[in-house]
Amino acid sequence: MIEVLVSGWLIGVAIALPVGPVITEVIRRGLRAGFLSAWQVGLGAAASHAILVSLTLLGVVALLDRPIWHSILSGAGILVLGYLGVDALRASTVLPAAEDAARAGHPFLVGFSIGIANPITLLWFLTVGGALIAAHGGGRPGRLAVAFGVSFVSGVLCWDTVVATLAGYGRRWMGRATLRAINVIASVVFFGFAARLLWKLAQTFR
């Protein structure tokens, strides 16, 4: 059991490590509104992973492996990332006050939307994630498979918490120029991921 828990936790951390849309928004929220707002983004993303883990255990994720679902998720992801890109670009021009952060949407819902609308995440659960969970459950949703899934989600949330802490409490040492630069970089990341999804979506209609 200990080996399963440690394995799930380490894989969760490894999945959360790369700087993608979730981590970018966690950093941006932390610098804008502090730790709590940033942590809620991570919590929302972890909640989306928890849902996908549950669906994987129930065998539902495999049913979503259809072009129509990939197209729907890609479309939703493009809208969410495009919105975040515009918001980051606006923030790089005029730095908002902490109380203005709510205009960008509730941090939990933003994190959840990024996580659940990312077709790449779904693809991971259809392949690697599903295989790992099945391997620990003997091909069925057993006790070890559930433990692996729970520890995986906790690993994702742990790394998001670390990033939220660094961004939330590190903003006091950053000047306005640094914050503007980070917002510009964030907007480029969001637009880049949105363009990537748009390209993949266009490929499906060829």
**Which of 37-46, 47-56, 65-74, 184-193 is most confident?**
37-46
Residues whose CB falls within 8 Å of the CB of residue 44, separated by 6 or more in sequence, listed in order: 107, 108, 109, 110, 111, 112, 113, 114, 115
State pLDDT tens for residues 131-175.
Answer: 666 655 544 456 777 787 788 889 889 989 998 998 888 877 766
Cβ proximity of 158 and 26 under 8 Å: no
pLDDT at 139: 47
pLDDT at 129: 62
Provide the 3-class DSSP secondary structure of residue 142: coil
Lowest pLDDT segment from 33-37, 42-46, 159-163, 168-172:
168-172
Kindly indicate the confidence band of residue 128, based on its pLDDT and cuts at 50, 70 and 90: low
pLDDT at 47: 92
Cβ proximity of 62 and 55 under 8 Å: no
Kindly indicate the confidence band of residue 36, based on its pLDDT and cuts at 50, 70 and 90: very high
Nearest-CA neighbor of 153 among 123, 115, 127? 115
Token pair, residue 189, equals 């990341």
On the question of pLDDT at 178 being above 50, the answer is: yes
- The residue with greater pLDDT, 197 or 46, is 46
pLDDT at 95: 53
pLDDT at 99: 47
Task: Name the helix (H) or strand (E) containing 58.
Answer: helix 35-58
Nearest-CA neighbor of 48 among 86, 15, 6? 15
**Side chain identity at residue 86, one-letter code:** V
Lowest pLDDT segment from 11-20, 82-91, 118-127:
118-127
State pLDDT tens for residues 99-112.
Answer: 455 455 789 999 99
Radius of gyration in angstroms for the set of CA atoms belonging to the chain, rounded to a whole number: 18
Cβ proximity of 94 and 25 under 8 Å: no
- The residue with greater pLDDT, 78 or 162, is 162
Domain boundaries defined on the chain: 2-204
pLDDT at 133: 61
Task: Name the helix (H) or strand (E) containing 10.
Answer: helix 2-16
pLDDT at 98: 47
On the question of pLDDT at 194 being above 50, the answer is: yes
pLDDT at 103: 54
Token pair, residue 188, equals 């480029």
